[in-house]
Structure formats: C-alpha cells, structure tokens
A and B are shown apart, each in its own frame.
Chain A
Amino acid sequence: MTDLTQLGVKDIRDGVRAGDFTAREVATSFNAAVADAAALNAFIVTTPDHALAAADAVDAARAAGEQLGAMAGVPIGMKDLFATNGVQTTAASHILEGFTPRYESTVSQKLWDAGAGMLGKLNLDQFAMGSSNETSYFGNVSSPWRKDGSNQPMSPGGSSGGSSSAVAARIAPAATGTDTGGSIRQPAAFTGICGIKPTYGRCSRWGVVAFASSLDQAGPMARSVEDCAIMLGAMAGFDPKDATSLQMDVPDWEAALNSDLRGKKVGIPREYRMEGTDQAILDSWEQGKAWLKDAGAEIVDVSLPHTKYALPAYYIIAPAEASSNLARYDGVRYGLRDLPDGSGLQDMYAATRAAGFGDEVKRRILIGTYVLSAGFYDAYYTQAQKVRALVARDFERAFEQCDVILAPTTPTASFPLGSMNEDPLTMYLNDVFAVPASLAGLPAMSVPATINEHGLPLGLQLVGRPFDEQGVLNAGLAIQQRAGFTAKPEKWW
C-alpha cells in the first residue's frame, strides 16, 4: 500500500470517498508519523484519539451512505492559538499553561464539522510574536530542512513554525496557521509549502488567542494550492460572534481554480527591490515573472511608494493592540497566578505577568504601552495609523493597473536557529515583504518556487484585491504547475 503520509488534503479526501483506504488508516499512519517526529518539537500536545474518533465518524458516515464533508478523513495539525474544547490551549506561553478551554474556536469547529480530525496542537512563537519559532515557552521548533551537508538545526519560520515544520515533514497533510504580519506566509516560504492568509474578516477570530485584532487572520498551510483552496473553504465563513467577520458568501475556490491567466495583469512592485535581499530570491522573482507570463498574464510595473514605512508602522500598531489584548492575563480568571507571600492584588498582577510572559512578549507589551501612553499617542500611534492608510492606498492604486501582485515572500531563506537573536530588529526585518499586505487586510499567499544554492526552499508571494482569494490561488496554481517543486526534506528525525 502507498505511504498514506505522503498524501495531501485532496488525495486523502478523494481516496476516502472512493474507498481506496479508510479514514482510520489515514489517521493511524499520521499518528505514527507524529509520534516518530518528537525531534522536530512541532507539537505541544498530541491528540491521537481525537484524530481516530473523527476518522471513525467519517468511516461510519461513508458506510451509511451519507454525504461526506469537504475535509472528511483528513487529520490536521491545529496551531495552539485556536481554543479547542477540552484540549490544552497555550499560545506557546507559560501564562496559559494548563488552560483547557470549555469551548471550541469557530474555525476549528468548522473544520471538525467538515470531517477533519486533530493530530495535536502545534507549537508556535509565544502569542504568535516571532518570525523563527524561537520564542515558544515549549522550546524551539526545528525545520525538517537542513542546509546541504550540514546538521545545524534550521528555523521553520514563525509564528506558525510548528505548522510549517509538520506539513513539510509530512507528519500532517495540512495545518491551520494565523497571520498577523506574515506568520503564515514566511514559515510556508521557509519550508517549501503553501500558505494563504485570506482577506481580513474571511475567517472568524472567535476563539483564537488575540495578538493584534485589526491584523490577525487565520488561514490554511498545506503542500499544494488545491489543498489550500479546499481547506480555506472549510475554515472561512460569516460568524456573528466576531464583530469583524465578513458577512458574505464563501465561494467554491477549489471548483473555480484556473491557472489560465490570459487577460490578467500581474504587478511587480518596484519598491520591493530592497537592499539585503538574497540574489537567489531576486532570481526566483524573475523566474516567477516568466512563469506567470507563460500562463498568459501580462507583467506590469507598479509602485507601492510607502513600502519601507509599512514595517515600522506595523511595529507600532501590532504592539499597541497586543498591549491592550494581553491585559487580560492577570492571574484571576485563567492561567498562571503568581502570588508572592503577603502581596496584594497589584503585586499579584505584576508577578504573574513577569513569570508568565517571555522576553519578546514583554518587549512588545512595553512598546505598545509606551506608544499608547499620554503624550506619545499622537506622535507614534496616530501617525502609524495614518501611514497604514497610505500603505492601503498604495495597494488600491496599484490594483487599478493590475489584478494580482507578485513579490518575494521573504528577503532570505531560512536561517539556523539561534543565529538572529542578537538584536530584535534584525528578526523583525524578515517580515518586510509580508507586512504591507497585512496592514491593508489583503489576501496573500506564499507558494514554493525553487531551492537555493544550499538546498533550502524559497517562496514567492501573491497579493490580491480584497475578497479576491480566487485570483491569488489561480496565480499560485500557475506558478505551482510551472515550478514543479518536488524537493522535500530528507528524514533525519
């Protein structure tokens, strides 16, 4: 029998439907692969019984002749930022260690309703703050990829680093991610997989641990554009419990996939040619243009003049929102409580938060508190929000001249764990190409393009108009078909 762990979402769904194998066989194979991959540290907790129970329900439904859901029989990894009923949810923090929700996030519930099962809760950067998966309280995640001839552990990207590592290592066919400033796209690019952040509001944020509410958006990570289209369809949809949820129909993205780009214009933003970008990345960008041209698209130059200001604006807005969102961790209602002898309420707050938050989380809370404080609010926060408006306007104008934008996902390939920790700023710069689309709330995707001279994967990014996930997926598919990216990491774990 074929190794079921090599299959993606579509092949598993279709195979289970056709009776080529049972959902239980699939779940059993992936549970074993997960158990065998502890060295990656991709999972904080594993839930083999959840995967088996969901699989048995799908097999029973099929035997009874019932209609199967869009994700029927597909066991997935769940980023540990989604609240899961009865299963510890930590956001990779000490302050939420042991927190066991009594409710299910909307996105995870929709996936279970569509027939998916859960292999476990995936590791991530603490509170999704990081770009290398080195800020988790539960330890670094290793990428399954290594440089040619080296056994140095590499970063899987972040914050959805457990997700990217698991999917690239074939211990999960797909995983959920969340993207605040690149946290789906950058890890996808680092590990040679696909990931799409939909338009802000497509996926409900209800039950997702909040980082920066005006930016946070969930999305799928998988190994093909088709798999992303299927899974995004299962995750998206209006939810009255999220005030920013989009009240609009979810298109059948999978059915409408079409890589014929004749009549489409692809914009190349000239400001994305930045100093410090690897030559291999610039080469892959050129290659990407040629592929899309080959698919029938016309390539046009566009300008996004405020690109260089997007990242600094993000590092005011996101910490500001985080400092407010994370005020809820007070040692009173859930999670950790540190109550030094004889201390009062205020001391308990301060001690709990000192013990429960990691350094990067504290740094961002302090920045956020500072930029929102009296006397500095206008100079920092209001100015950043105005710059955000300009970044969004740049995109609006660019989309008068093109249908989709092509750019690199990251300025470099993955780097060794521990190599970027000297200065927080160096790490922030890794999201320079991802953040502008986040600030503008636009759908954006990373697809694998090629491998660099060290054998590490590189990704290309597609950014679309609001609500045009289809245009992004279609251009992604055109690249996927031409890139023929079949490289995969050699098993060392």
Chain B
Amino acid sequence: MSVDKATVAKIASLARISMDDAALDRMVPELNGILQWVEQLGEVDVTGIEPMAAVIPNTLRLRADVIDADALTGGGRQGDVLANAPAAEHGFFGVPKVIE
C-alpha cells in the first residue's frame, strides 16, 4: 500500500499537525519508503498467533481504596499542575474560545 499527498494531509490533520504543501511533498516519499519496507511483515505466517501487547507477564494491581493515598499523585496540587501551563487563568487551563 502507498499513500498519496491527500492521504498524508488527512493523516496530518488526524494527528493535529499543520503541514504546508512543501512539507507534505517532502513527507509523501519518506512515508512510502517506510510503508513499503514494513510491508514484508505480510510474508510472516501468523496463523494461530495471538497479538502480543505485554511482553513480560505481569498482573495489574489495584491500589488501596484511599483518597490521596499517594501524596504525589493524589489531589490538592492545583498550583503544581498549572505551574507549566502556557495560559493558566482563574485556576484553570486557558484555551481559545470554543464556539460550536
């Protein structure tokens, strides 16, 4: 499979990366080179093989049912959370006006 300029523009829009014509023109052959190369995975017989997501067997744990059990990841850290925001306003993250 290969991608054309319109497809790359669509992917870029899905990924929320603005790209001008020149950037799209550059990206098309690069993406096609990579996609053609990964195509070889199609040769592999994967009959009966389950897709692997976790490589090392591990079980997910439940944390103790306590509010703010971990001081670092619990609540009450509004100042820290907003400290790096480009536009913090009135204790919230500020964003441009959204009108639907």
Chain A residues at the B interface, C-beta cutoff of 8 Å: 98-103, 199-201, 214, 240-241, 243-244, 246-247, 306, 308-309, 312-313, 315-316, 323, 327, 330-337, 339, 343-351, 353-354, 357, 362-363, 365-367, 369-370, 373, 376, 379-380, 382-390, 392, 423-425, 439-441, 466
Contacts and interface: CB of A to CB of B under 8 A. Distances in A.
Interface in B8-50: 8, 11-19, 27, 30-31, 33-35, 37-38, 40-42, 44, 46, 49-50
A389 B52 contact: yes
Contact of B17 (A199, A316, A350): A350
B91 interface: no
A335 B40 contact: no
Nearest to A383: B41
A387 B44 contact: yes
Contacts of B87: 337
Question: Which of A309, A312, A348, A379 has the most C-beta atoms of chain B within 10 angstroms of its own C-beta?
Answer: A312
Given A312-B40, A387-B44, A424 B84 contact: no
Contact of B50 (A240, A334, A389): A389
A387 B46 contact: yes
B16 A386 contact: no
B70 A387 contact: no
Given A380-B38, A388-B52, A389-B49, A363 B86 contact: no
Given A200-B56, A386-B44, A441-B56, 5 more contacts: A351-B18, A363-B31, A388-B51, A425-B33, A425-B37
A390 B87 CA distance: 48
Given A351-B18, A366-B8, A390 B95 contact: no
Contacts of A349: 16
A361 B30 CA distance: 13
24 contacts: A100-B83, A200-B55, A200-B56, A240-B61, A240-B63, A241-B70, A247-B58, A308-B40, A315-B38, A316-B38, A316-B41, A330-B16, A334-B85, A344-B97, A344-B99, A349-B16, A366-B12, A369-B15, A370-B11, A379-B42, A380-B41, A383-B42, A387-B46, A425-B33
Nearest to A366: B11
Contacts of B63: 240
Given A389-B49, A441-B55, A323 B98 contact: no
Contact of B30 (A343, A363, A385, A466): A363
Contacts of A425: 33-34, 37
Q: Interface residues of B toward A: which range?
A: 35 or more
A441 B58 CA distance: 12
Contacts of A98: 84
Contacts of A383: 41-42, 44, 46
Contacts of A336: 86
Contacts of A345: 95-96, 98
A354 B86 contact: no
Contact of A335 (B54, B84, B96): B84
A357 B73 contact: no
Nearest to A466: B56
B49 A390 contact: yes
Contacts of B42: 379, 383
Question: Which of B18, B35, B81 has the most C-beta atoms of chain A within 10 angstroms of its own C-beta?
Answer: B18
B38 A362 contact: no
B80 interface: yes
B34 A315 contact: yes
Contact of B15 (A100, A323, A332): A323
B11 A350 contact: no
A440 B60 CA distance: 19
Contacts of B38: 312-313, 315-316, 380, 384
Given A247-B61, A331-B86, A389-B51, A423 B31 contact: no
A312 B31 CA distance: 13
B14 A199 contact: no
Given A344-B97, A366-B15, A370-B3, A385 B51 contact: yes
Contact of A387 (B17, B41, B60): B41
Question: Which of A386, A423, A466 has the most C-beta atoms of chain B within 10 angstroms of its own C-beta?
Answer: A386
B64 to A, nearest CB: 9
Question: Which of B14, B52, B95 has the most C-beta atoms of chain A within 10 angstroms of its own C-beta?
Answer: B52
Nearest to B15: A369
A330 B87 CA distance: 12
A249 to B, nearest CB: 15
